[in-house]
């Protein structure tokens, strides 16, 4: 696939991976629909890219408003060729301490919201002759990662939904599906993550601060979409090793994550969440 004159709709486009994807798709000649909650941030992203853009702000879990947003998006250029479900929120808290509302919110934002948006757009995509749906999951969508029980549940679920959707639509309707599993990318994901009370954590992790640049992550995503890759892990070092182990040697993966989880849980229970 080439992206010239394609219409690409990106949620969570105001920063991080979403912003980097907007710039990368624009450089490849696509028209970009920018969605997120903060209109001012989306306007700044639009100002930084030289292509046609539609700023379409909305709250992903405002399900009553989604049909109108889908209609506006598809009407802009006649169709949406590529939908990137990127909006999401992470977590940093032990399951033992976490209020159930935190699990509900994260699953709502990271799993149910992209399912709703995809389900609403899917009939129009099929009517137009096909398209491509991208789900930004996580290494935590393949591996049970400490401090992220709700996040892991949502991201595992997103992969399951996208895999089943691919099975139903790829051959029959020419709707292709790509799962992206990033590891540590240098974004605000950990700073914005929810703590045990459901409040923003307000500080980053060293592993995120030392992670891959969003532009490199975006480059790899575009290459995967262009080549119709069903799933791509974008990670390095121990994160990549654990993700691969989950497939090739689950017992070894569980041993490694159990040792990691015991150390982290001990620190958190002692009040050290750095």
Closest CA to 172 of 134, 130, 122, 133: 130
Question: What is the distance in angstroms between the CA of the first residue and the CA of the last residue of the chain?
Answer: 43
161 is catalytic: no
Q: Give Cα 247 to chain centroid, integer Å.
A: 21
Give the Å distances, CA to CA, from 52 to 76, 96, 138.
10, 48, 30
Element (H, E) at 230: none
User: Tokens 């879990």 belong to which residue?
Assistant: 61
Instruction: Compute the chain's Rg from CA coordinates.
Output: 18
**How far is 253 from 246, CA to CA, in rounded Å?**
6
Closest CA to 126 of 173, 196, 72, 177: 173
**Which entry of 63, 124, 151, 161 is annotated as an active-site residue?**
151
**How far is 219 from 25, CA to CA, in rounded Å?**
9
CB-neighbour burial class of residue 210 (10 A; exposed 0-12, middle 13-18, buried 19+): exposed
Two tokens, residue 272 = 């050290």
Two tokens, residue 166 = 């691919």
Q: Who's near 257: CB < 8 A, 6+ residues apart?
A: 143, 144, 145, 146, 242
Residues with active-site annotation? 151
């Amino acid at each position: 696939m080439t992206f010239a004159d394609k219409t690409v709709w990106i949620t969570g486009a105001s920063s991080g991976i979403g912003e980097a994807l907007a710039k990368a798709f624009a450089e490849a000649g696509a028209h970009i629909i920018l969605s997120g909650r903060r209109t001012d941030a989306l306007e700044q992203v639009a100002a930084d890219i030289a292509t046609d853009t539609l700023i379409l702000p909305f709250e992903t879990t405002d399900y009553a408003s989604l049909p109108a947003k889908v209609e506006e998006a598809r009407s802009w250029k006649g169709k949406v060729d590529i939908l990137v479900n990127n909006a999401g929120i992470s977590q940093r808290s032990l399951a033992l301490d976490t209020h159930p509302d935190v699990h509900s919110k994260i699953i709502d934002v990271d799993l149910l919201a992209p399912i709703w948006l995809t389900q609403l757009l899917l009939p129009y995509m099929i009517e137009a002759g096909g398209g491509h749906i991208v789900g930004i999951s996580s290494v935590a969508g393949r591996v049970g990662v400490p401090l992220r029980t709700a996040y892991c549940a949502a991201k595992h679920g997103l992969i399951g939904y996208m895999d089943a959707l691919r099975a139903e639509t790829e051959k029959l309707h020419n709707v292709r599906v790509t799962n992206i599993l990033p590891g540590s990318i240098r974004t605000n994901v950990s700073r914005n993550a929810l703590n045990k009370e459901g409040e923003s954590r307000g500080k980053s992790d060293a592993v995120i601060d030392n992670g891959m640049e969003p532009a490199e992550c975006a480059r790899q995503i575009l290459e995967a979409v262009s080549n119709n890759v069903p799933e791509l892990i974008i990670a390095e070092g121990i994160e990549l090793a654990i993700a691969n182990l989950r497939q090739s040697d689950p017992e070894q993966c569980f041993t490694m994550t159990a040792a990691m989880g015991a150390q982290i849980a001990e620190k958190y229970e002692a009040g050290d969440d750095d």
